[in-house]
A and B are shown apart, each in its own frame.
Chain A
């Protein structure tokens, strides 16, 4: 059963159609890379997959149940409990320290303060950030910020991790570290969809979806090669 399925998605922004009849199925355990040049619609597709944006037409299915995007409360709950986001520029909240950033989605979910802190500490330790929990965001490096962002995305044990150019702002060493973390997360069962323009990174996933001018032009499974 597909975890998420988009059917015939069209998206218009003003007079421009940025997604043209896109249909895509995200299976459980998948590690999918979406590649394509700038303006090909890959980020737009990711935002629709992440239920952050609404398509102009088409349907979105979650576990084969069609979603009504006008139900704001339900969609927000689904985003909080089942989806995690990692962006190119980490987007950590500077008013919160490292551990509080990782606690935030859990507290939103209703987890108590102590449990949220314990879980955040565990995730930070797993991502090599032990000892930096109480640091302010501006006190850690770019690579560490991105790892905090990954810890935050994983805080509620999401079913799908959606990543928009997660290594676009990192040097090669940190890029490698982040990709290893993703592979580890995926091995433990979390589905990952990653937008990237770096084909070398795409090759580290299980499947590559290529987009051009708002359309999917190819899908290459890399499962057999791994």
Chain B
């Protein structure tokens, strides 16, 4: 091996400029891979983590069925009329939800279950109005079944227990209504025409725009009373020990209850699919960059082989075997790639550290004050290994060609 490295380093040292350009090419591709992975997975992981934390790991809700028109007998008990849609009392509730909770709580995979009554409504503050999603919660149960308290600006979840007229509103809802501090009174209007003056006691700030722009938490009993749905709930949220088992556990629960059971993966399937497409596109770009740098290595080694035919012949005359000649050129590719990889590491580290210091006000799917980066070491390892693999692949053909050269033909042609 010493003999191979002796010649390899001599070849690389003498072609400093070309070697440097190739090393730079590899470094750029490795750093592009690391930085893009860090940004992309940083965003996706953050989003998924927030979703897992905010939303139920598993939720139980009434099945969404197409409502069939019904014939109803009029009050005079004689004539029939056609009624459109479901019966008001039938829709949108979970019957026997307390029993369901008791049964499911015996499952060791389940940490806690909390009931929700969800509805639509409108918040009014001064001249401004905003349609919102109302969630009636029991704070004591909610704090066990979700980590929503973590996203409250003032950690004031208990205020919903103290006073039934207190509510918590999304940060973007507050902004849109022009509410800058807690303690403001707003009017809550419901689909049945009921209205009530309530007090904003906290802001819910998850960072996920569409949630913060619509969600309003109301004490469960208040919402039940306003909607005239005493003791009714329409969603049960379940917190489980291992979020990755949500899908399989949801299937198990589905066998026990007659309602729709949905895991967080299913609820956010569209986003997860979108992320897959995003990953594919990103990796196609990174693949293209790595391919270009691999071609750089291919070119330089192929050129060396073509230019160094005479030296290859003399190496063979000296006793180097064709296998050793192959290894010399494979090593050239690997050494170039190794240093490119190391330089790529440093470049990526620098870029990621720089990006994490940039302050940006981003508002899209997520709201953030800068790049959300995943600084995992595994992107460095994968980037390095990928570049080594592609370099090996790129060096193989020229190295193989070199080993197949016939020294006698070369000596005769000179």
A91 and B318 alpha carbons, distance in the complex (Å)? 11
B13 within 8 A of A: yes
Most buried by A among B2, B7, B318, B322: B318
B226 within 8 A of A: no
Contacts of B6 in A (CB 8 A): 100, 103-104, 107
A72 and B322 alpha carbons, distance in the complex (Å)? 8
Nearest-Cβ distance from residue A156 to partner chain B, whole angstroms: 8
Nearest-Cβ distance from residue B103 to partner chain A, whole angstroms: 74
B10 engages A53 (CB within 8 Å): no
Q: Which A residue's beta carbon lies closest to that of B11?
A: A95
A96 within 8 A of B: yes
A89 within 8 A of B: yes
A109 engages B319 (CB within 8 Å): yes
A91 engages B310 (CB within 8 Å): yes
A95 and B311 alpha carbons, distance in the complex (Å)? 10
A100 and B7 alpha carbons, distance in the complex (Å)? 10
Secondary structure class of chain B's binding surface, majority of residues: helix
Interface residue tally for chain B (C-beta within 8 Å): 27
Contacts of A140 in B (CB 8 A): none
A122 within 8 A of B: no
Interface residue tally for chain A (C-beta within 8 Å): 32
Contacts of A107 in B (CB 8 A): 2-3, 6
Q: Which B residue's beta carbon lies closest to that of A149?
A: B314
Given contacts A104-B6, A107-B6, contact A79 B11 (CB under 8 A): no
B13 engages A95 (CB within 8 Å): yes
A56 within 8 A of B: no
Nearest-Cβ distance from residue A105 to partner chain B, whole angstroms: 5
Q: CB-defined interface of B176-218 with A at 8 Å, one 1/0 digit per residue?
A: 0000000000000000000000000000000000000000000
A50 within 8 A of B: yes
A73 within 8 A of B: yes
Given contacts A100-B10, A104-B7, A107-B6, contact A76 B414 (CB under 8 A): no
A160 and B209 alpha carbons, distance in the complex (Å)? 84
A87 and B411 alpha carbons, distance in the complex (Å)? 9
Contacts of B3 in A (CB 8 A): 104, 107-108, 110
Most buried by B among A53, A76, A81, A94: A76
Contacts of A50 in B (CB 8 A): 317
Which residues in window 45-71 of A have CB below 8 A to B?
47, 50, 52-53
A152 and B311 alpha carbons, distance in the complex (Å)? 14
Q: Which of B310, B318, B408, B414 contacts A79 (CB 8 A)?
A: B318
Nearest-Cβ distance from residue A110 to partner chain B, whole angstroms: 8
Most buried by A among B14, B315, B319: B319
Contacts of A109 in B (CB 8 A): 319
B147 within 8 A of A: no
Q: Which of A52, A79, A91, A94 contacts B14 (CB 8 A)?
A: A94
B318 engages A108 (CB within 8 Å): yes
Identify 17 new A-B residue pairs, CB closer than 8 A, beyond the known A47-B408, A105-B318. Answer: A43-B412, A50-B317, A52-B408, A52-B411, A53-B408, A76-B320, A79-B317, A80-B320, A85-B317, A87-B314, A91-B313, A93-B10, A95-B14, A104-B315, A104-B318, A105-B319, A109-B319
Q: List 23 A-B contacts (CB under 8 A).
A: A43-B411, A47-B408, A52-B317, A52-B407, A52-B411, A53-B408, A72-B321, A72-B323, A76-B316, A79-B319, A85-B314, A85-B317, A85-B318, A93-B7, A95-B7, A95-B10, A95-B311, A103-B6, A104-B3, A107-B2, A108-B318, A109-B319, A110-B3
Using CB atoms and an 8 Å cutoff, list the residues of chain B in contact with chain A.
Answer: 2-3, 6-7, 10-11, 13-14, 310-311, 313-324, 407-408, 411-412, 414
9 closest A-B pairs by beta carbon, nearest first, are: A80-B319, A95-B14, A95-B10, A108-B3, A76-B321, A53-B408, A91-B314, A79-B319, A105-B318
